[in-house]
């Protein structure tokens, strides 16, 4: 008869960081994890309406730090702190968190580390030392940024036709015609086959989508909320990766906002003073 060995109950030490991570330092990373709250609209100073999306950005905790010497590249693995039952996690993930006394988290992703290009070699070693497992990451990492890149999983649309999937124009809508059919997909004699990549009906959505250069409209540090202009991939409550914009757009000269000086008005004021 085989006897099962009783499992030893794991006890979390008293110096465990917990969900809040208040004792940890702020990690210098170029992104943060979050969730989509919903869409709304805001009015700017000119009275124009702007579509906006409210995001919950953090709080996050650093669960693993990867270095170029050990892993071949530099990044920080973040976990979005939220209430998760430990029994919902797999045994390897439980061991991954218990190794460093971390709270159980569900959503894990890697984000790049901020390194100054002017002194890379010295700063890379310093960045590895600054990024410590257990450090907290809040929405404050995006303070001072104007644009962000957001990655998420788009909404699944199921099996869709060519009009909805590839924006085909369709056939005539008069009586006796089939409007949303695919139509001919290839020749009969030559090449006697269908070319690869032919646009046809199939699965639509539920894929990784990145929207770049979304303008930041507001940051709420107390509630860890981020408001961006425009739409974000995924449904409400979907997980997102929010990174600082890799290639932010250049502001056109004379269209940078209220701080721009109108040369015509400045000349008129100078003429009046003279």
Q: What is the pLDDT of residues 23-38, one digit of tens each?
A: 445 558 889 999 999 9
Label residue 249 by pLDDT band (50, 70, 90): confident
Residue 77 sits in the same domain as residue 181: no
Q: Which of 65, 39, 68, 34 is nearest to 142 (CA)?
A: 34
Mean per-residue pLDDT of the chain: 81
Question: What is the spatial distance between Cα 101 and Cα 185, in angstroms, rounded to a whole number?
Answer: 58
Range of the domain at 43: 16-153+207-248
Residue 168 sits in the same domain as residue 94: no
Residue 239 sits in the same domain as residue 135: yes
Q: Which of 196, 169, 170, 174 is nearest to 185 (CA)?
A: 196
In tens, the pLDDT along 39-94 reads 999 988 888 899 999 999 989 999 888 888 888 888 889 999 888 888 888 888 88
Give the residue, 187 or 133, on which the prediction is more confident: 133
Does residue 89 form part of some domain? Answer: yes
Residue 175 sits in the same domain as residue 141: no
Residue 42 sits in the same domain as residue 162: no
Predicted structure pTM score: 0.72
Residue 96 sits in the same domain as residue 177: no
pLDDT at res. 155: 94
Residue 45 sits in the same domain as residue 128: yes
Judged against a pLDDT cut of 60, whether residue 100 lies above it is answered with yes
pLDDT at res. 210: 94
Residue 129 sits in the same domain as residue 180: no
Judged against a pLDDT cut of 50, whether residue 11 lies above it is answered with no
Question: What is the spatial distance between Cα 21 and Cα 93, in angstroms, rounded to a whole number?
Answer: 19
Main-chain phi, psi angles of 191, to 5 degrees: -90, 10
Stretch among 63-72, 217-226, 246-255 having the lowest mean pLDDT: 246-255
65: domain CATH number? 2.40.30.10
Looking at the structure of the chain, the number of domains it has is: 2
Residue 140 sits in the same domain as residue 171: no
pLDDT at res. 165: 93
Residue 34 sits in the same domain as residue 147: yes
Q: Which of 147, 153, 64 is nearest to 113 (CA)?
A: 64
Does residue 25 form part of some domain? Answer: yes
Residue 118 sits in the same domain as residue 240: yes
Residue 51 sits in the same domain as residue 140: yes
Q: What percentage of the chain exceeds 70 in pLDDT?
A: 80
Strand partners, 60: 80, 137
């Amino acid at each position: 008869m085989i006897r099962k060995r009783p499992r030893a109950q794991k006890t979390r030490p008293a110096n465990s960081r917990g969900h809040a991570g208040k004792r940890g330092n702020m990690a210098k990373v170029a992104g943060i994890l979050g969730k989509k709250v919903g869409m709304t609209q805001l009015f700017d100073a000119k009275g124009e309406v702007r579509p906006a999306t409210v995001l919950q950005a953090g709080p996050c905790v650093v669960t693993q730090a990867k270095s170029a010497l050990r892993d071949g590249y530099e990044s920080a693995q973040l976990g979005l702190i939220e209430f998760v039952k430990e029994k919902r996690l797999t045994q390897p993930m439980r061991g991954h968190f218990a190794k460093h006394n971390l709270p159980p988290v569900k959503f894990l992703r890697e984000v790049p580390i901020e390194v100054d290009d002017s002194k890379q070699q010295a700063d890379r070693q310093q960045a590895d030392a600054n990024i410590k497992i257990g450090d907290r990451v809040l929405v404050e990492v995006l303070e001072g940024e104007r644009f962000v890149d957001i990655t998420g999983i788009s909404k699944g649309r199921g099996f869709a036709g060519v009009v909805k999937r590839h924006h085909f124009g369709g056939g005539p809508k008069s009586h006796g015609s089939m409007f949303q059919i695919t139509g001919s997909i290839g020749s009969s004699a030559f090449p006697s086959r269908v070319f690869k990549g032919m646009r046809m009906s199939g699965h639509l959505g539920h894929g990784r989508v990145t929207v770049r250069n979304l303008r930041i409209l507001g940051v709420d540090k107390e509630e860890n909320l981020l408001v961006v202009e425009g739409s974000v991939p995924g449904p409400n409550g979907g997980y997102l990766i929010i990174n600082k914009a890799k290639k932010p757009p250049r502001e056109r000269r004379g269209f940078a906002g209220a701080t721009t000086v109108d040369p015509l008005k400045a000349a008129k004021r100078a003429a009046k003073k003279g």
